Amino acid sequence: MTALIALMSIGKGTWAHAIRLIESPEFERAIILTNSFGKEKYTAPKKASVVELDLRKEAKELKEDMKIALKPLIVDEMEVAISIVSGTGIEHSALIAALFESGVGFRIVISTSEEVQYL
């Protein structure tokens, strides 16, 4: 099973990119990391878990919050793809560090107009 972890934060047009990935049949599950605004404004499909975080926190604290939030959502046999088109460098760094420290391998994914591409 491949799960997508997608940041849905700031950046003009980045939500549309994340939504294309979340709704793609490529992923059986999606985990959406967002803030209170994102949780309120985006209606996630049934295959998605929405995790509300305080994305204004400092990087180390945000990393720890992400580790705690992701732990029950990721199982050992799961393949993980991450989308970091949306968000800030601090958010991206916190997510990557949280996954590394948790021992979770991942691939970075983007959506083009034609397909889902792994980088």
Q: Domain of 62: which CATH number?
A: 3.40.50.20
At residue 11, the pLDDT reads: 77
Rounded distance between C-alpha atoms, residue 98 and residue 2, angstroms: 18
Q: At what angle do helices 89-101 and 59-70 cross, to 10 degrees?
A: 50
71: DSSP letter: G
pLDDT tier at 76, thresholds 50, 70, 90: confident
* The two three-digit tokens of residue 85, written as one number: 């088109």
Q: Which of 109, 104, 62 is nearest to 82 (CA)?
A: 109
At residue 73, the pLDDT reads: 94
Query: HSE (CB half, 13 Å, CA atoms) of 38?
Result: 26
Rounded distance between C-alpha atoms, residue 104 and residue 97, angstroms: 10
- CA distance to 22, 44, 46, 50, per residue, from 40 (Å): 17, 10, 16, 10
Instruction: Please give the tally of structural domains in the chain.
Output: 1
pTM for the full predicted model: 0.93
At residue 113, the pLDDT reads: 83
Q: In which domain, by residue range, is 30 found?
A: 2-118
pLDDT tier at 51, thresholds 50, 70, 90: very high
